[in-house]
Amino acid sequence: MSWLKKWEPENPQFWKENSGIAWRTLIITTWSLIFSFATWFTMSAVVVRLPAIGFKFDTNQLFWLAAMPGLASGLLRLVHSFLIPIFGTRLTVTVATFLKLIPCVGIAIAIMNPNTSFLFFMVFAFLSGFGGGDFSSFMPSSSLFFPKRLQGIAMGIQAGIGNFGVGLTQFVTPWIIGFAAFGALAGGPQTFTKADPVKEVVVVKEGAVVKDVTVKDNPALASALVVTKDNGVVKDVVKQENDTNKNISLTVKKDATGVVTDVTVKKVLKKDMWVQNALLWYVPILIVTGILCAIILRSIPVKASIAEQLGIIKDKHGWLCTITYITTFGSFAGFAAAFPLLIKVVYGGFPGAPDPLKYAFYGPMIGGAVRFLFGAPSDKWGGAILTQIGIVAQIVGCVFLMATGSLTPTSLATFPLFVGGMLWIFFWTGVGNAATFRLYPIVFAYSAKKGAQALGWTGAWAAFGPFIFNIFVGMSMTKTGTPMAFFIGVTIFYIIAAIIQWWYYTRPGAERGDWGNKWGTWWDKAKDTWGNRQM
């Protein structure tokens, strides 16, 4: 029997006897949600490896691939917000879990064929957004099982732990693609090729002409490079092949007159890599999880009309909260999806360039942990206050990145500043995100139903974060060669959000202020005169 005939969590005796069902539901749906987030962000981890295994995609195309899951997730969250009243928890969560198998298998197949088209990748990158849509049905579904006094705790557990899926996929991917985890069942390896400039080679140029090529502290390479000069100008550079330099590549560019205009010497590293493993390791987990969902989960009958659910569209605070939620969770999701590619395109051209996946997972892990830990401080100090602090801190982080030259580097010297600035932003998106879970129910304190609608509505728009961030970062990189224009734009957006947050929710006497358990909320003063009024 999948539908429960009776569910009364506010009845103390009923809750005492049946709370186990609620906690089992939370455990199973949270476990599934971890892999919803993980599969949603898998493309952001895989895309940085595609050029090195033979796919000829340009920078803008790579950002589009990382963006597509965000486009799908935003659209699907709007759909998911209607599913629970119609299909119930059991069917919705079970089907959603199994659906994630489609992009996992599809992208894995695409990776194993070096001739796979960009369009094929785009389609399955879009489908990987299945996981991003789940949040808007999983969270409301779980909340139905708990009394109001425990809903905050339950939702904090589910949202906070679920978010760890983002960091999980970026943490596991570089490890699991390094060996044949599934043997012959998962196909053969790809050849990963990495070419780093040899820092001992010094190319001296005057204008567009190469005047000299020298090698420092590497006698073997120096003897292998034969430089031909005429009248103080390099006419040719030839590499003599031997066992010590067989992994060295030499590229010589000449103009129409035969004058050398550029010389590049790189050390080439080749090794086997099973990039499809980044997707395939989810397959057995999703199958087992889907079966458990079908066996264990139950559904609660819920009455809700589409007109009621769409009521949030007419409320100005629904839109204002959407702006602040895009600023917090939208930024978390957007930067989590863009961070690996940002590292690659901004710092990947320098000798000894960092592996993006060795650093990218720190951001989502920090943001997810902070979101989990800052629920109680938000209750104490107020969702409005911490949201305000978080947004202002994000502005500071963006200004820091722009002011330190971290976005327009000339060497790896600014890389620690870049990573530090990004992790600072991730930290404060987590704080702001946790605070909004306290703030939005307070903003709509006169109607618990409308507060729930606000969480679903704002969450759907914020899920477009990965799409918006990757598209605009890609445009900035394509047109200017740096992400500076994007960061200028996002800083302006943050400033607008900070003003909205301050005026409507944070300042003393704000229209819908929340100043925590210590100083109270707007509703503490308004509830006696509010009555049944709606806004």
Q: How far is CA 290 from the centre of its chain?
A: 24
Question: What is the C-alpha separation between 285 and 385, in angstroms, rounded?
Answer: 40
Kindly state whether residues 230 and 366 are assigned to the same domain.
no
Are the CB atoms for 473 and 341 separated by under 8 Å? yes
The backbone torsions φ and ψ at residue 529, rounded to the nearest 5 degrees and listed phi first, read -105, -5
Question: What is the C-alpha separation between 254 and 257, in angstroms, rounded?
Answer: 8
Structure tokens at 114: 């070096």
- For residue 129, the tally of other CB atoms under 10 A from its CB is 25
Are the CB atoms for 491 and 377 separated by under 8 Å? no
- Mean of all residue pLDDT scores within the chain: 88
Domain hosting 382: range is: 305-535
- Residue 374: pLDDT over 70: yes
Kindly state whether residues 212 and 329 are assigned to the same domain.
no
Structure tokens at 119: 């369009």
* Largest interatomic CA distance in the chain: 97
Are the CB atoms for 128 and 40 separated by under 8 Å? yes
Kindly state whether residues 225 and 133 are assigned to the same domain.
no
At 305 the pLDDT is 62
Question: What is the C-alpha separation between 242 and 358, in angstroms, rounded?
Answer: 34
At 535 the pLDDT is 46
Kindly state whether residues 289 and 339 are assigned to the same domain.
no
- pTM, rounded to two decimals: 0.83
> Which stretch of 123-127, 384-388, 445-449 has the lowest confidence by average pLDDT?
445-449
What's 514's domain CATH number? 1.20.1250.20
Within 8 A by CB and 6+ apart from 143, the residues are 151, 154, 155, 452
Over the stretch 120-147, which tens digit does the pLDDT of each residue have?
999 999 999 999 999 888 887 887 888 8
Kindly state whether residues 161 and 265 are assigned to the same domain.
no
Better-scored residue on pLDDT, 200 or 298: 298
- Residue 215: pLDDT over 50: yes
Kindly state whether residues 457 and 403 are assigned to the same domain.
yes
Over the stretch 509-519, which tens digit does the pLDDT of each residue have?
999 999 987 78
The total number of structural domains that make up the chain: 3
Kindly state whether residues 125 and 43 are assigned to the same domain.
yes
Number of DSSP helices (H) and strands (E) in the chain, helices first: 24, 7
HSE-CB for 318 with a 13 A CA cutoff: 19
Kindly state whether residues 170 and 246 are assigned to the same domain.
no
Better-scored residue on pLDDT, 221 or 294: 294
The owner of tokens 């999701």 is 333
Kindly state whether residues 86 and 202 are assigned to the same domain.
no
Within 8 A by CB and 6+ apart from 194, the residues are 52, 268, 269, 270
Domain boundary (287, 302, 317) is at 302
Kindly state whether residues 343 and 477 are assigned to the same domain.
yes
Mean pLDDT of 517-531: 80
Kindly state whether residues 161 and 258 are assigned to the same domain.
no
Mean pLDDT of 345-362: 88
Kindly state whether residues 102 and 120 are assigned to the same domain.
yes
Name the CA radius of gyration of the chain, rounded: 27
Better-scored residue on pLDDT, 83 or 413: 413
Question: What is the C-alpha separation between 71 and 14, in angstroms, rounded?
Answer: 42
Structure tokens at 319: 């839109």
Question: What is the C-alpha separation between 156 and 162, in angstroms, rounded?
Answer: 10
Structure tokens at 328: 């917090």
Mean pLDDT of 238-249: 80
The owner of tokens 């320098």 is 350
At 533 the pLDDT is 54
